[in-house]
Chains A and B, each alone.
Chain A
Amino acid sequence: MRAYSFTQPRSVAEAVAHGGAGTAFLAGGTTLVDLMKLNVMTPDQVVDINRLPLHGITLDRDGLHIAALERMSDVAADRTVRRDYPMIAQALQLSASGQLRNMASIGGNLLQRTRCGYFRDVTTACNKREPGSGCSALAGINRIHAILGTSDDCVATHPSDLAVALVALETVVHLATAQGARTVPLDAFYTLPGTTPHVENVLRPGELITGISVPRSPWAAHSLYLKIRDRQSYEFALASAAVALDVHRGIIRQARIAAGGVGTKPWRLTSVERALAGRPANADTFESAVGNAADGARPLTHNAFKPALLRRTLIRALITLQERG
């Protein structure tokens, strides 16, 4: 691990004053410490943000607000979240392990890095880790990789479960630098790899995530997160579905749908949402509405199963949600 300077500021102002290129903020450390040990992340300066007052889970007229340092386990166990935003609690509960959820923060979760094995191995070529070096996954082992939003330079998935649920619910993320604060929709926060896969989001050097807000909606309380993986627990998604429906007298008024495990970023499926709106909430509707979910997919050598898996995962999620009532 490369040497770095280490600071423990107590205020957001102090933390962002430290920020800049070469700075890494340390929250739970479950991504950062792991990747620093592998020499994949090599910051000059680590700023421990755990002393900052970025705590609190609150519900008000606008919606749900979660501060950046809230831990995954605390948000998953929160009564308000479980009642009014069940898919958020489920996405968290199905992530990682009990120990990791006690450590990992909401801000850090949104910035976790891909689990592409080549990205984690500094002896291989990887455009995301080392721009211009090539992509070992394209002609290598790519079973867990993405089919949507990929480019010739990178096909890695974004691994967060939480982010999939949050993108479906039109969450915004609050950011701060020394120059001031701004708010960005989470969907626009993440960028596609294109020719610059080392850039994953619009975060500026030294910019801090202070929290997120999830708007109120008629569908958030009627929502579900379904995760399909190689083993039943403690594993990343091969495919996942975040589905929310506003159903009135058996007719879907509006839907919010996103998928994980298939895209280079959390994948909102507005075409499926439109195909569901105004139709009866039944298996026939679900079956036909997800027909185009994988349009534009570019399967790789080992993940040709993913378009079908995505469609079946979406259908099962919608049917399960509807059966739960």
Chain B
Amino acid sequence: MNPDDDDVGHSRSGVSRRTVLGSTGAVAVAGSLLATATAADAAVAPDAVGAPVVTVRVKVNGELRTVQVDPRVTLLDTLRERLGLHGTKKGCDRGQCGACTVHVDGRRVLSCLTLAATTDGREVTTIEGLARGDRLHPMQQAFVERDGLQCGFCTPGQIMSAVGMVQEGKASSDEEIRERMSGNICRCSCYPRIVDAIKDAQKVMR
């Protein structure tokens, strides 16, 4: 996180967090349960009537979205259950597999450990926001060409993580790629082809 995140939030969304949350940042308490994830997900199912709701204005893949969320709900569940973006996958839901990797303000993070309420004023990019129209992102293209997947479940997370990794600085060896991508587990063990794809993509990425 950098110190001028707040400015990003203000200028791009045009909304001050203060006006949304009030001067102390205390949330409004609504009478109904507006925003919870699926009932099947016990971890976020509400257990108190009248749970507080937070208004979140967040740019997702370039588009400003406003959602009201229970402060317990993760960014992952918000993307999948509220915004209809199912590309981001839920593997472990515990920060251990990397399947849920997205970018927040340009940095790769785990959406399963990010509370949606903390993304107000931020910019989120998911796998759906990577291509430019019909043109795949170089990392997507490389995963296709190198066949960097089998079942594909980990792939959106692998690609988002790989793009973030290259943006942090290109890797100079296979070993370095493996180390810096170690937060993304692939049950099908496609690792050699994933490394090949990243090597291809980082040649053409800026």
Please give the residue numbers on chain A whose beta carbons come within 8 Å of chain B beta carbons, in ascending order: 1-10, 14, 26, 28-30, 33-34, 36-37, 46, 48, 50-51, 53, 55, 69, 71, 73, 96-100, 102-103, 232-234
15 contacts between A and B (CB under 8 A): A1-B72, A2-B48, A7-B27, A8-B118, A10-B25, A26-B115, A36-B72, A50-B1, A50-B118, A69-B1, A97-B183, A98-B108, A98-B183, A100-B95, A102-B164
Instruction: Give the complex CA separation of A234 and B179 in angstroms.
Output: 8
Give B10 Cβ to nearest chain A Cβ, in Å.
12
Let me know if A102 and B43 touch, CB within 8 A: no
Whether A233 contacts B182 by the Cβ 8 Å rule is yes
Q: Which residues of A lie under 8 Å from residue B47 when comparing CB positions?
A: 2-3
Indicate whether B17 reaches chain A with its CB closer than 8 angstroms. yes
The interface residues of chain B lying within 8 Å CB-to-CB of A98 are 108, 161, 164-165, 168, 180-183
Tell me, in angstroms, the Cα distance from A60 to B184 when the chains sit together: 38
Q: Does B98 contact A (CB under 8 A)?
A: yes
- A14: chain B residues within 8 A (beta carbon): 24-25
Contact B71 A4 (CB under 8 A): yes
Please indicate the chain A residues that have their CB under 8 angstroms from the CB of B114 in the complex: 29, 33, 103
Contact check, B115 vs A29: say whether CB atoms are below 8 A apart. yes
Residues of A close to B2: CB separation below 8 A: 55
A-chain residues with CB within 8 Å of residue B165 when the two chains form the complex: 98
Q: Quick one: given A4-B71, A34-B95, A50-B1, are A100 and B183 in contact (CB under 8 Å)?
A: yes
B46 interfacial by beta-carbon distance below 8 Å: yes
Q: Which residues of B contact A100 (CB under 8 A)?
A: 95, 110, 113, 183
Instruction: Please give, as numbers and ranges, the residues of chain A lying within 8 Å of B18 by CB-CB distance.
Output: 10
Is there an interface contact between A7 and B26, defined as CB atoms closer than 8 Å?
yes
Given contacts A99-B108, A99-B109, is CB(A26)–CB(B72) below 8 Å?
A: no
* Chain B residues bordering chain A, tally (CB within 8 A): 48
Q: Which residues of A contact B25 (CB under 8 A)?
A: 7-10, 14, 48, 51
B113 touches which of A7, A29, A51 (Cβ 8 Å)? A29
Interface string of B37-60 (1 = CB under 8 A from A): 000000110111001101000000
Instruction: For the complex formed, measure the closest distance between the CB of A228 and the CB atoms of chain B, giving whole angstroms.
Output: 16
* B39 CB, min distance to chain A CBs, angstroms: 14
Known: A51-B6, A97-B98, A98-B108. A8 touches B17 (CB 8 A): yes
Given known contacts A29-B118, A99-B183, A102-B107, is B51 in contact with A3 (CB within 8 Å)? yes
- Asked whether, in the complex, the Cβ of A34 is within 8 Å of the Cβ of B182, the reply is no
Q: Is the CB of A48 within 8 A of B43?
A: no
Chain A residues positioned under 8 Å from B118 (CB to CB): 8, 26, 29, 48, 50
* CB atoms of A71 and B17 under 8 A apart: no
CB distance from A209 to the nearest CB of B (A): 16
8 Å CB contacts to A: which residues of B90-142?
A: 93-95, 98, 101, 107-110, 113-115, 117-118, 120
**B-side contacts of A233, CB under 8 Å:** 178-179, 182
Distance between Cα atoms of A281 and B46 in the complex (Å): 61
Residue of B25, B26, B27 contacting most chain A CB atoms (<10 Å): B25
A30-B113 contact, Cβ under 8 Å, with A1-B43, A46-B71, A99-B108: yes
Question: Are A37 and B24 touching (Cβ within 8 A)?
Answer: no
With the chains together, A48 CA to B116 CA distance in Å?
A: 12
Q: Decide: A6 and B52 in contact? CB cutoff 8 A.
A: yes
Complex CA distance for A96 and B2, rounded to whole angstroms: 21
Please judge, given known A-B contacts A5-B52, A48-B118, whether A53 and B3 are in contact too, CB under 8 Å: yes
Docked-complex contact A103 and B110, CB < 8 angstroms: yes
Q: Are B46 and A3 in contact (CB under 8 A)?
A: yes
Given contacts A4-B72, A8-B21, A48-B118, 4 further A-B contacts (CB under 8 A): A28-B113, A48-B115, A97-B182, A99-B109
- Asked if residues B109 and A102 are in contact (CB atoms below 8 Å), the reply is yes
Tell which of B27, B93, B184 touches A37, judged by Cβ atoms closer than 8 Å: B93
How far apart are B110's CB and chain A's nearest CB, in angstroms? 5
CB pair A30–B108 under 8 Å, yes or no, is: no
Q: CB < 8 Å: which of B17, B48, B113 contacts A33?
A: B113
